[in-house]
Amino acid sequence: MKGKYFNWSRFPLRFLKAVLSSEATPIYARPDKFLDDADFLCPYMDDVSEWPNSHFVRRYRREIEDYFLPEENHLIDIARRLEKKNYGGITAGEPEDILMALRQQKLSNTIIDAYRTEILKVGMDADDGWEPDTDFTKPLTFDLLASAALNISLYPYQEEAVSAMKRHFLDEDKSAGILVMPTGSGKTITSVYFLLREMASRGYEIIWLAHRFMLVEQAAGVFYRLSPLVKEGSSEAPDTFTMTCVSGKHAASQALSRKDDLVVGTVQSLCRKTKYITKPLKEKVIIVVDEAHHTIAPSYRRVIEAIRKKRPAAKLLGLTATPVKYTDKGTAALMDYFDNSIIYSVPMSKLIADGTLAKPVNIRRETNVDIETRIDEEEMKRIRRRGELTEATIDLIAKTNERNDVIVDEYVKNQAKYGKTIIFALNGYHCGVLNDALQSRGVKCGYVYTWNDDKENQKVIDRFRDNNHKDAKGKDDHIDVLININILTEGSDIPDIETIFLTRPTGSDTLLMQMIGRGMRGVGCGGTETVNIVDFCDKWSSFTRWLNPKFLTEGEGELPEPVSRQSKPQELIPMELIIAVMRGIKYGNVQVTAHDASLPIGWYNVIDEEGNDEKVIVFASQEEGYLAMKADAETLKLTEEFDGAELAKTYFKGFGLTPDPDDLVNVAGFVHDMGSFPELQTFAQRDEIDPGMLAAKFNEELLPMVTTKERISEIYSSHRTIIDSLYGNRDYYERRIVDFMMYPKGIVPIGTRVEEVEREFYQLDPAPFEDSLEDILSEVLKEQASVLGENYRRPTIAWTDKPYKSYFAQYDWAIDHIKVNDVLNSRSVPRETMKFLIYHECLHQLIHGHNKEFHKLEHLYPDFMEHEHFLDYKFADFYREKAM
């Protein structure tokens, strides 16, 4: 077989001969003699299996392991794939060791898929663009008794979040709440840890809702690797755990069953067929909404409300970097859905201070393009009314060549400084224009702007993520700049981004947080020390919208007031938006074309009005103002109440980043309560005790661990205040240093060993179906008479002449006849399932296609989902032994 088809001729002769001479191969499929010609053997292989399915791997596992896997790099590729999933303790070592470890594994879905993938990579023509499927196309069942949670390390704030969720949902038995953690802080691993260890272990079924295929894939990967945690949380935990992923590229909704302990799915796939998710629900359920700001969308509400109708006590957990929509109405509706309860939040300022998130370097670049002179008054009215750019204006800005030149020039002139960069563009056209312009000037770049082709997008993203990416011929293929609209705003893990270009003005707090968050992974999480936030600003003569940055960065429960101002001619608008880098639609009639970067220099440890420890980030341009406040400390001591806006006006009169008024109140309140001004903790001081730097030094010195720990104790004693502020205590500080000494970038790999149960295959009973099709049809017509109607004509019915690989059954309109595939002619097929299948075909006499009305009638059949599940999923595990 050539072209787009699978071709056995590409395989080693010794492997083909081993398969054809195997005891598992029927006699009729074996050649009379074996010629050293793959093309001669291919017809016989096609008789054995035209396509390497699960049954092929089951029957020829020994031949695959003995004669196929040792060739080329198959063993290494499989080991890397399994090592990434923590499967079976397999690592990418010596080929002989890998093969031995594989031979000891159960024939699970993961092993079958790994072998099939390697076979398909050889048998498919590279020009066909074949790519391996997702690992999660089938339900996976984990063997928790054989699996092990060896070492799963959380950061202190992640441990606090887990404790808070346990207290909220279990100890206090509350029904809903939101977990607020900034992008890059590990929301997914934190929530999955809690869900598996505390909820699944107590019998809760987890329903995880996302809105894109890739988010399902990423969450499923974390659930997979952490699955052994289920056995850690409770003595009553089950011995097995089943996960099913549902989306257009995973399993269909029909795959869901009563066995499911975890469903990870796109809301688009689940909302269309809520019956499939509500029918098999367990008694205890927790629903999780990834990126919780989507919750108030109709599709999400439909799924959540369908589940809660069946299980009123179902709990609801939202995950987000910011818990608000932009409008008052949207925020109120969102918070109300989660019982106005924020379970736990960690401020961005804290994570910037301790190195979990990168220090933001704000760079403002004026385009000098006056947008309002290019649009009419009606369009301006629409912008004012919406508080956001219209599509027409977005398109206009995208096609403004002089503005695009500014963006391209900014990167090209500063390429060494900006390095690995994400550009958030305006629309698809803008992506293409910027990509072409950058490539024409020698920049390695690519773009993605729609999720319609996930595979092609993923290739581009992988080229950007992997700095050593090679193409199929082994040639360097990585890119330095990735242009996109909003694909990388949610769920994309690329830790070493150095620069973010913001080319689209926005009034959306959520979108802004997500865009900036893509580049804020700090050294403590395998990222960078600083991140450049390059903000391209156009002229707006009459419209400016501001957002409260503290609300965005710290997840406060009150909505910021957007303020629209009429700019005065020649007024220079200050850069007061960025405290931990946030901005909205700007700017007045600004004449300055460039601004120096605004870099954080340190932080103050203070206490907010609710008694929580807070860190107030201090930028270089603010230092003078804080020193002026410090000089007035005696006055602040005696003041009872503080007005943040007045403090800003008094002490921060110059241009630059004006501190958030609430931060100023907290600083002044600290002076009043403690009697002294808080000490500035500088990033320079932090760098002196940075775990990564010390770990590198200790590794060079090759000191015994006892001596190293003594040195750590001395450092802690000398810098106790700042270490306690950042790391909580000496023990955790020592742990972070040891992490950096043992692992690249201090990232401790998830220490689990995942095992799956053996894949069950069933031999198809050779005895024919017990009842005649005519008798089954008679029963169906009698039982379903009210549905089919008085005028229904009895069709004829018969088995096909032989088994076929296409339909299970087919109704022929021309002759009013039902054909039932002879492949089902076995006593292994449940009688009621056969009745359902015939009922399905009877309905086609009434309705030709599978439209909404057809499915409405089809779903009237009792337990229709169980019968669909058998036909669509379980029957694939049956095999028919052919005569030898």
pLDDT digits (tens, 9 = 90+) for 478-501: 899 998 876 554 445 677 888 988
Residue 477's pLDDT band (cuts 50, 70, 90) = confident
- Average pLDDT (142-159) is 91
pLDDT tens readout for residues 835-878: 999 999 999 999 988 998 999 999 999 999 999 999 988 998 99
Domain residue limits, the chain: 8-128, 140-346, 354-564, 600-684, 689-753, 762-879
Among the ranges given (38-52, 129-143, 712-726), the one the predictor scored with the smallest mean pLDDT? 129-143
Residue 548's pLDDT band (cuts 50, 70, 90) = very low
What are 448's strand-pairing partners?
Answer: 484
- Average pLDDT (449-461) is 69
Strands (E), 692-821: 751-753, 762-763, 796-799, 809-812, 817-820
Among the ranges given (187-196, 503-512, 746-755), the one the predictor scored with the smallest mean pLDDT? 503-512
CA distances from 598 to 289, 359, 579, 595 (A): 36, 11, 10, 9
Q: Rounded CA gap, 56 and 74, in Å?
A: 18
Residue 376's pLDDT band (cuts 50, 70, 90) = confident
- Average pLDDT (593-613) is 71
CA distances from 603 to 97, 218, 643 (A): 52, 34, 21
| Tokens found for residue 262 | 């975890």
Residue-wise DSSP of 571-624? ------S-SSS---S--SS----B---B-EEEEEEEE-TTS-EEEEEEEGGGHH
Residue 4's pLDDT band (cuts 50, 70, 90) = low
273's torsion region: left (phi>0), alpha (psi -120 to 50) or beta?
beta
Closest alpha carbon to 253 in 873, 874, 838: 873
Model pLDDT, residue 78: 94
Which phi and psi (to 5°) does residue 798 adopt? -165, 160
Share of residues in the chain with pLDDT > 70 (%): 85
Residue 455's pLDDT band (cuts 50, 70, 90) = low
Helix or strand or coil: residue 51?
A: coil
- Average pLDDT (605-619) is 82
- Average pLDDT (28-55) is 85
368's torsion region: left (phi>0), alpha (psi -120 to 50) or beta?
left
More confident residue, 564 or 411: 411
Sign (positive/negative) of CA torsion 834, 840, 845, 848?
negative
What fold is seen in the domain 354-564? Rossmann fold (3.40.50)
Model pLDDT, residue 838: 97
| Tokens found for residue 759 | 């894949």
More confident residue, 493 or 262: 262
User: Helix H segments across 182-263?
Assistant: 187-194, 213-226, 230-233
Model pLDDT, residue 589: 28
510 has pLDDT over 70: no
Q: Rounded CA gap, 26 and 881, in Å?
A: 9
746 has pLDDT over 80: no
Average pLDDT of the residues of the chain: 83
Share of residues in the chain with pLDDT > 90 (%): 43
Closest alpha carbon to 505 in 546, 542, 560, 541: 546
Residue with the two structure tokens 């595979």 = 455
Model pLDDT, residue 825: 95
Among the ranges given (69-78, 218-227, 335-344, 656-665), the one the predictor scored with the smallest mean pLDDT? 656-665
What fold is seen in the domain 140-346? Rossmann fold (3.40.50)
**Whether the Cβ atoms of residue 397 and residue 493 lie closer than 8 Å to each other:** no
Judge whether 354-564 and 762-879 match in fold: no
More confident residue, 401 or 586: 401
Q: How many CB atoms lie within 10 A of CB 769?
A: 19
163 has pLDDT over 50: yes
- Alpha-carbon Rg for the chain, nearest whole angstrom, is 31
pTM, rounded to two decimals? 0.82
pLDDT tens readout for residues 278-307: 888 999 999 999 988 888 889 999 999 999
Model pLDDT, residue 599: 74
Model pLDDT, residue 267: 93
Among the ranges given (54-63, 418-427, 539-548, 705-714), the one the predictor scored with the smallest mean pLDDT? 539-548
CA distances from 168 to 176, 308, 343, 356, 807 (A): 9, 19, 7, 26, 50
Q: Strand 359-370 vs strand 421-424: parallel, antiparallel, or unpaired?
A: unpaired
The separation between CA 97 and the C-alpha centre of its own chain, rounded to angstroms, equals 33
193-207, 320-334, 508-522 — which one is most confidently predicted on average?
Answer: 193-207
Eight-state DSSP code of residue 508: -
Model pLDDT, residue 63: 96
Residue with the two structure tokens 């503080």 = 642
Among the ranges given (146-160, 389-403, 867-881), the one the predictor scored with the smallest mean pLDDT? 389-403
Q: Rounded CA gap, 510 and 324, in Å?
A: 7
Q: Rounded CA gap, 1 and 4, in Å?
A: 8
209-213, 465-469, 489-493 — which one is most confidently predicted on average?
Answer: 209-213
- Average pLDDT (176-202) is 92
Model pLDDT, residue 539: 63
pLDDT tens readout for residues 763-803: 999 999 999 999 999 999 999 999 999 999 999 999 999 98
Sign (positive/negative) of CA torsion 370, 375, 376, 381?
negative
**Whether the Cβ atoms of residue 168 and residue 252 lie closer than 8 Å to each other:** no
Model pLDDT, residue 569: 29
432 has pLDDT over 60: yes
Sequence-ordered list of residues with C-beta below 8 angstroms from that of 102, at least 6 positions apart, any chain: 65, 69, 75, 78, 90, 111
| Tokens found for residue 725 | 């502020």
Model pLDDT, residue 716: 92
Closest alpha carbon to 14 in 93, 80, 70: 70
CATH superfamily of 762-879: Metalloproteases ("zincins"), catalytic domain (3.30.2010.10)
Among the ranges given (146-150, 560-564, 643-647, 821-825), the one the predictor scored with the smallest mean pLDDT? 560-564
Among the ranges given (33-47, 337-351, 514-528), the one the predictor scored with the smallest mean pLDDT? 514-528
CA distances from 703 to 383, 620, 699, 706, 710 (A): 64, 38, 7, 8, 11
362 has pLDDT over 70: yes
- Average pLDDT (65-86) is 93
Residue 574: burial class (beta carbons within 10 Å; 0-12, 13-18, 19+): middle
Q: Rounded CA gap, 352 and 348, in Å?
A: 6
More confident residue, 563 or 319: 319
Residue 594's pLDDT band (cuts 50, 70, 90) = very low
